[in-house]
């Protein structure tokens, strides 16, 4: 554009040129996958050490760090499992205590029921002995004086 033309007005040829440029840019972008792959490989190769000794040092260092991370994670998992086991054990103890209380209550109730049944059975088998009423009356009234 020239300096005399305002920037808001665009020339028609330049607009069509820009559209074409956009199309070619997308073609270039899709065609550059191979280039991207090459650049990624080159980047990885540039990050690798030049000799095997340096490479093995890096690998050992990374393995040591990984082992420490794994040990830490195992400790955390172990602590979590220990805590969960302790909680389950306490809960089992509470269930046992509650069950023991319920069992004692049931057995106490069962004993009371058994006593009631035995008393009823005793009443049926051995009716209470009747004392003679006349003897009591005579004893209360006393001898008759004539």
What pLDDT is stored for residue 146 in this prediction? 53
Q: pTM of the prediction? A: 0.36
Residue-wise pLDDT tens digits, 96-125: 888 888 888 888 888 888 888 888 888 877
What pLDDT is stored for residue 18 in this prediction? 54
**Distance set, CA 124 to CA 28, 44, 116, 129 (Å):** 110, 102, 12, 12
More confident residue, 39 or 137: 39
% residues pLDDT > 90 (the chain)? 7
More confident residue, 34 or 94: 94
CB 87 within 8 A of CB 95: no
Question: Chain centroid to CA 22: how far?
Answer: 54
Give the DSSP per-residue string, 48-117. S-SSHHHHHHHHHHHHHHHHHHHHHHHHHHHHHHHHHHHHHHHHHHHHHHHHHHHHHHHHHHHHHHHHHH
Per DSSP, the three-state class of 8 is coil
What pLDDT is stored for residue 145 in this prediction? 59
């Amino acid at each position: 554009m020239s300096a005399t033309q305002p920037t808001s007005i665009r020339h028609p040829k330049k607009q069509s040129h820009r559209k074409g440029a956009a199309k070619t840019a997308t073609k270039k972008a899709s065609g550059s996958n191979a280039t991207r792959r090459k650049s990624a490989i080159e980047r990885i190769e540039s990050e690798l050490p030049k000799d095997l000794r340096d490479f093995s040092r890096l690998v050992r260092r990374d393995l040591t760090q990984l082992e420490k991370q794994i040990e830490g994670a195992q400790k955390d998992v172990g602590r979590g499992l220990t805590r969960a086991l302790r909680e389950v054990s306490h809960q089992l103890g509470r269930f046992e205590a509650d069950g023991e209380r319920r069992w004692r209550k049931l057995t106490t109730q069962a004993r009371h029921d058994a006593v009631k049944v035995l008393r009823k059975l005793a009443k049926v088998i051995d009716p209470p002995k009747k004392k003679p009423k006349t003897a009591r009356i005579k004893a209360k009234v006393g001898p008759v004086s004539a």
